[in-house]
Structure 1
Amino acid sequence: MNTRLALALAATLGLALPAYSVTANAAATQSAEQANPFFAESPLPLHYPQFDRIKDADFAPAFDAGMAQQLKEVEAIANNPAAPTFENTLIALENSGAVLDRATTVFFSLIGADTNDTRKKLQADYSAKFAAHSDAINLNGKLFQRIEKLYNDRATLGLDAEGLRLVEKYHDNFVRSGAKLGDADKAKLKAMNAELANLGTKFSQNVLAEVNGSFIVVDDVKQLDGLSAEQIAAAAEAAKARKLDGKYVIALLNTTGQPSLTNLTNRELRQKIYETSVSRGSRGGEYDNTALVSRIMTLRAEKAALMGFPNFAAYSLGNQTAKTPEAVNAMLGQLAPAAVANAKREASDLQAMIDAEQKAAGKPTFELQPWDWAFYSEKVRQAKYNFDESQLKPYFEMTKVLEDGVFFAAGKEFGLSFKQRTDLPVYHADVTVYDVFNEDGSQLAIFIFDPYARESKRGGAWMNAYVSQSGLTGDLPVVANHLNIPKPPAGKPTLLTWDEVTTTFHEFGHALHGMFSDVKYPYFAGTAVPRDFVEFPSQVNEMWSDEPTILANYAKHYQSGAAMPQALLDKVIAAAKFNQGFATTEYLGAAMLDQNWHQIGVKDVPAPADVIKFERAALEKDGIYYAPVPPRYRTTYFSHIMGGYSAGYYAYIWSEVLDANTQKWFRENGGLTRANGDRFRETLLSKGGSVDAMELFRNFAGHEPQIEPLLEKRGLTTGAASN
């Protein structure tokens, strides 16, 4: 493990890390250690986790013993009487903390994918302890002296480029973690980090609890008009699971918009769903997050000041490709006017549709509201392109999308092949596992696919690594993709929306980034790159979802096997820029909120207690406020910015600039070819964080990134049509 644990925990818990002394559980016996699956490497292929042996009771002993073991290892490194060398200091740190690394990797993966009350309690009990453990390493004065000596002498150490970068990154991260602070300020930092750890855990648990508890109960099936028979059956099953037999339940996802708003004809029900969604975390009661938000933002501002920065955004962005809040503000500010203008043009089309429908029905018209947007934009889409989502879904059966779409594209681009295996244990029955092979038949990785939403799973979609590639150890990757696709009733096919299709391709782009890693030091493995670069490879992989040869291979009717008609394929591609004003505006609203919260300076603390009022003022100030298009996330359920994306939600569109440039490069160089895939793998995907991110981009593309391809992709160029 090493300091990578500290960084991984910081991202997971939303901290930047606290000091703590841990001793092994005195009651732990040798036999108990032998029974605990974390005390030794998994004997399964590629050290795949032993999910069938892992019990919740195993985590605490592994955490305690793992922290004690690593602190002992770190003390030995720090107090080594020999002069510091690359091997006895940094390589030793890279190899430290193996037990803790194994236990925390599985634990935090399961906290996201399949949590329970025991795991939630463990998370709450250990969040401050983990932060303190990280500080015990990062604020160790003797250890930092050795790292600083190597840093100062780095030009004379005879290291290759990757080794030299490891020295520089360790030094930078120790400094950014407070290694140069005086003792009094270190004590303040430790206290801040411990409190931030606890607050971050409480926030994330509140979000999950409230999204699970904020379901909408419907008594009369007539109110569900517009939903498919399968969706209605799923709502009935969801009600039955909550002991509400004879009723229907519409569960919420952790976003502002909700999928059911696209289809429900009952406007009052749409309004109820929307208003329930946006009020989460701010309506009082046990799960109200407003006080937590204010305190977290206050602490982050104070921490930034302690570290010598004007605000937390300046502190957070220092090691990203954006570098400064000013650069982020400039880019978001450049996009906002065009996005809102486009959204308003789209809104005029929706309002015209509303007016026409109401007039035809002899009813008074009404003004477009946020709960109307998805419903009427789907109607406008049908009118403009003569198709709707319901026409598409029968052609997007989930397994075919994955195996005949995502995997097929990876085969065409990189020569990969996949074979499902059923002999490895899984943590949930919905999970499937695949071996991944290079073209020469050698194993590249193991891939885990976890597609369905459930109450034990956090919202959104993400990738994580259970085992990271390492040249030091010879480890190959075990990576997982997690989605939140509603599970259909038993015996029914899983049919995806177009957004779910593109999300499946997107997340596999992250998986490729992890699987192709070919670095020596685990510190740099896979997706260990700046936040505002990590979304870039995943966004590039989305381009193959509607590439004609790929789409034709997987878009086949789940019953007849008939290919999607070419005319419908053409409509899907033609509609790619439809509703981009809305999509860009809701995203920018969230990204700008993130920046406004994290650009609060210490002179402005405590942070505002009225979170909703602050949101409105911030959106209006930035010119992104438009009532029919609320931010994708309100602050009180904005888990990204309370976790690893604090001051970093801009990263998606920052990365999309690189993505748009890269898509243009592929189109201009022959598209989906092995030669192009091999170049992308060799120059960028395999390098992880071992080379500066923007240097990687330039090495691949041959030029600096340009914003014009993004504007074109999102339909934001001057005079862009409203569709």
Structure 2
Amino acid sequence: MSNPFLDPSTLDYHLPPFALIEDEHYLPAFEAGFAEQLAQIDAITDSAEEPTFENTLIALERAGGTLDRVSRVFFSNSVSHATEAVQELEQIIAPRLAEHEDNIRLNRALFERLRRVPTDGLDAESTRLVEEYLSSFVRAGAELDDDAQATLRELNSTLSALSTEFSQKLLKDTNASALLLETAGELDGLSADAISAAATAAGEAGHDGKYLLTLILPTAQPALESLTNREVRRRLHEASVNRGARGNASDTLAIATRMATLRAERARLLGFDSYAAAATDSQTAPSLEAIMDRMRDLAAPAVRNARAEAAELEAEAGHPIEPWDWAFHAARVRRTKFDVDLDALRPYFELERVINDGIFYAANRLYGLTFAERPDLVGYHPDVRVWEVFNEDGSGLGLFLGDYYTRDTKSGGAWMNSFVDQSELEATRAVVVNNLNISKPAPGEPTLLSYDQVVTTFHEFGHALHGLFSDVTYPLFAGTSVPRDFVEYPSQVNEMWILWPEIVANYARHHETGEALPQDIIDRIHAAGTWGEGFETTAYLGATLLDLAWHSIPAGTSIEDPLAFEAAALADAGVDFAPVPPRYRTSYFKHIFAGGYAASYYAYIWSEMLDADTVEWFKSSGGLTRENGEHFRRELLSRGNSVEPLEAFRAFRGRDAELMPLLVRRGLA
């Protein structure tokens, strides 16, 4: 049987041929990909010709086509559709891939050849390509001696395996921790469609006649805002915060602890005081110290605001506020204080309208894009939909895939992945996917979103636009391949259109009557803008400072009790306010233990400084206009990492970012 990964896809935009891909194709394709790329690397290093940009850098950029194709599909499925077979394969493939990458990045002959490539006469993007490859090889350990490289290889392989184990155990325990309820009465306060979705989830899990509240990845669970039964709220909250920390077969705490200590060893080997210092060395932030100072500066006013909010909630509730009470009573205070009931808005946020008349419409108004659904192109799961994206002149820009519903094989949270990167060198255009975790309604019923889910939909589509708009020569620089503390910036900017008058009037319509979301409600949402920011900022900073604490430990540190370490870290950072737990606790902090955000979770608020300043620019420059969209696309969204990201920001904004818009937005001014 032919392997669909061994040759480039013949489908439009090189969309992977998902209909032909079977689990048995993955491992042989990885084996072929490893061999192919190493042979291509050998051809570069064995060349008798003097190193040139063409015979070294271009050859290196073009190497590894098979491995790239299979890796993108496999690792997308490992989080989007992680069947038992995929999980078993990942345990084999992840450490093998780490070993393979070391075979390239620690290849001294290749590194020395890169060093000798002349840069005279190269254009700016080509010069940057040489510089980025050299710095990435140094960060990977290319300059270490043989013994140190051997140790580094062992650490990399072990960390890769542990990351896979963390992800798989967390997925299993998240599914096992879903709250099963016997009667609909226990769900009092939830909307009819949410109760129906809980019944559907229970039926799919083999519990007909019951109700299942599945868990999303962060600590806060959406149902906590509406459930009137305080005991059910407590059980749901505790199910969330105890994931991975219940002392069972899916316990993740020991894995997290070991990963943090091994990362510290790896950092020391590379000459850094901590993993956090190593991880932030290549970010846009000037230093780890600058990051820590900024986070601590924000922590004190955030907690002060959270305490003030808690006092209001306790007055409303008539009793001390526990973590499982916060969202419920915050919603009641919001209704009393601002006459805003976000949960009651769900009938206005129907998924099809949010997609077609919201995110797509905004992209059309701002960038001239149009979208045509392609049912002839299939995704990796029946829930996945495919749209072709066109520029204003009718030329094809790429493909956008949407995978919106939750399932047992999908990790919690929301994210964007790329199946094909844009590149002039390879003559390719982008193929990207957005993943969300929306509960699937019963057949025939509409998919109604919470306001937070609408925000997530716009946010993730901002990542998709960043990938689709890429206009670079070299694959290394394509789309979202920017520093971690810059990548969230374009996605956060896209959130500004959610309540923009022309946009919200187009998509926020009652799914039964077609009535537009009343303007007075929109006005009240704006008026309530900073209410709850004390909670949100404190919860976020709790996770951020916990991440930095885990990754600031020096090599040789022994941590016997990870929960005690967590508690001490939050206390030391001044964010240990019991009613507001961190957005993620250690045991389910997938971003840092099974994602790319280790020592970089600060990126969201660091990027938000750029985002808030950009929103001010749009507002002062005329808002939703094609001219503004083209300027943002041309100077920033299209550049990927082909220029230094803050240089791209300055080209767009005309100056460096200012902090005040962020402080105002967060109620910290």
Aligned match of 1:696: 648
Measure how far apart 1:183 and its partner are.
0.3
Taking the aligned partners of 1:387 and 1:518, their CA distance within structure 2 comes to 42
Taking the aligned partners of 2:210 and 2:518, their CA distance within structure 1 comes to 38
Aligned match of 1:663: 615
Taking the aligned partners of 2:554 and 2:485, their CA distance within structure 1 comes to 23
**Residues 229-244 of structure 1: matches in 2 within 5 Å?**
229-244=192-207
Aligned match of 2:386: 433
**Residues 597-612 of structure 1: matches in 2 within 5 Å?**
597-603=550-556, 605-606=557-558, 608-612=559-563
Aligned match of 1:217: 180
Taking the aligned partners of 2:306 and 2:656, their CA distance within structure 1 comes to 30
1:319 aligns with 2:282: yes
Measure how far apart 1:246 and its partner are.
2.6
Identity score, percent: 51
Q: Give the aligned length.
A: 668
Aligned match of 1:64: 31
1:385 aligns with 2:338: yes
- Alignment TM-score, normalising by the size of structure 2: 0.99
Taking the aligned partners of 1:615 and 1:284, their CA distance within structure 2 comes to 17
Counterpart of 2:142 in 1: which secondary structure?
coil
Deviations along 1:454-502, one digit per CA (max 9) or x if unpaired, are: 1111111111111100111210111111111111111111111111111
Counterpart of 2:362 in 1: which secondary structure?
helix
Deviations along 1:187-211, one digit per CA (max 9) or x if unpaired, are: 0000001110111110011111100
For residue 631 of structure 1, the aligned residue among 561, 576, 582 is: 582
Taking the aligned partners of 2:284 and 2:379, their CA distance within structure 1 comes to 37
Aligned match of 1:106: 73
**2:4 aligned partner, one-letter code:** P
Aligned match of 1:268: 231
1:281 aligns with 2:233: no
Measure how far apart 1:586 and its partner are.
0.4
For residue 587 of structure 1, the aligned residue among 532, 540, 550 is: 540
Measure how far apart 1:573 and its partner are.
2.2
Taking the aligned partners of 2:142 and 2:438, their CA distance within structure 1 comes to 44
**Residues 156-195 of structure 1: matches in 2 within 5 Å?**
156=120, 158-195=121-158
1:477 aligns with 2:438: no
Measure how far apart 1:575 and its partner are.
2.1
Taking the aligned partners of 1:536 and 1:203, their CA distance within structure 2 comes to 28
Aligned match of 1:686: 638
**2:480 aligned partner, one-letter code:** T
Taking the aligned partners of 2:520 and 2:449, their CA distance within structure 1 comes to 20
Aligned match of 1:96: 63
2:193–2:448 Cα contact (<8 Å) kept: no
Taking the aligned partners of 1:109 and 1:94, their CA distance within structure 2 comes to 22
Aligned match of 1:124: 91
Aligned match of 1:362: none
Taking the aligned partners of 1:237 and 1:495, their CA distance within structure 2 comes to 15
2:366–2:624 Cα contact (<8 Å) kept: yes
Structure 2 stretches lacking a partner, 5+ long: none
Deviations along 1:657-693, one digit per CA (max 9) or x if unpaired, are: 0001101111111111111111101111110000001
RMSD: 1.0
1:444 aligns with 2:379: no
1:132–1:190 Cα contact (<8 Å) kept: yes
Counterpart of 1:687 in 2: which secondary structure?
coil
Deviations along 1:594-645, one digit per CA (max 9) or x if unpaired, are: 0011111115x23x13111111111111111110000000011100011210
**1:621 aligned partner, one-letter code:** D
Worse-superposed segment, 383-392 or 321-330: 383-392
After TM superposition, what 4+ stretches of structure 1 lie above 6 angstroms from structure 2?
none
Taking the aligned partners of 1:454 and 1:709, their CA distance within structure 2 comes to 38
2:226–2:343 Cα contact (<8 Å) kept: no
Counterpart of 2:20 in 1: which secondary structure?
coil
Taking the aligned partners of 2:486 and 2:338, their CA distance within structure 1 comes to 34
Measure how far apart 1:247 and its partner are.
2.1
Aligned match of 2:222: 259
Aligned match of 1:341: 304
1:489 aligns with 2:442: yes
Aligned match of 2:468: 515
**2:365 aligned partner, one-letter code:** K
Measure how far apart 1:234 and its partner are.
2.0
For residue 135 of structure 1, the aligned residue among 86, 102, 107 is: 102
Counterpart of 1:647 in 2: which secondary structure?
coil
Aligned match of 1:12: none
Measure how far apart 1:240 and its partner are.
2.1
Taking the aligned partners of 1:595 and 1:677, their CA distance within structure 2 comes to 36
1:463–1:479 Cα contact (<8 Å) kept: yes
For residue 666 of structure 2, the aligned residue among 714, 719, 723 is: 714
Taking the aligned partners of 2:60 and 2:392, their CA distance within structure 1 comes to 35
Counterpart of 1:104 in 2: which secondary structure?
helix
Taking the aligned partners of 2:366 and 2:41, their CA distance within structure 1 comes to 43
Taking the aligned partners of 2:66 and 2:519, their CA distance within structure 1 comes to 54
Counterpart of 1:546 in 2: which secondary structure?
coil
Taking the aligned partners of 1:122 and 1:63, their CA distance within structure 2 comes to 11
Counterpart of 2:472 in 1: which secondary structure?
coil
1:36 aligns with 2:3: yes
Aligned match of 1:617: 568
1:290–1:609 Cα contact (<8 Å) kept: no
Measure how far apart 1:424 and its partner are.
0.5
Aligned match of 1:571: 524
**Residues 139-150 of structure 1: matches in 2 within 5 Å?**
139-150=106-117
Measure how far apart 1:220 and its partner are.
2.8
1:291–1:609 Cα contact (<8 Å) kept: no
Deviations along 1:533-582, one digit per CA (max 9) or x if unpaired, are: 00000000100111111111111111111111121221222222221111
Aligned match of 1:48: 15
Measure how far apart 1:217 and its partner are.
1.7
Measure how far apart 1:126 and its partner are.
1.1
Aligned match of 1:24: none
2:397–2:468 Cα contact (<8 Å) kept: yes
**1:99 aligned partner, one-letter code:** T
**1:620 aligned partner, one-letter code:** A
**2:143 aligned partner, one-letter code:** K
Measure how far apart 1:77 and its partner are.
0.7
Measure how far apart 1:323 and its partner are.
3.8
Taking the aligned partners of 2:343 and 2:104, their CA distance within structure 1 comes to 54
**2:348 aligned partner, one-letter code:** Y
Counterpart of 1:576 in 2: which secondary structure?
coil
Aligned match of 2:507: 554
2:415–2:434 Cα contact (<8 Å) kept: yes
**1:118 aligned partner, one-letter code:** A
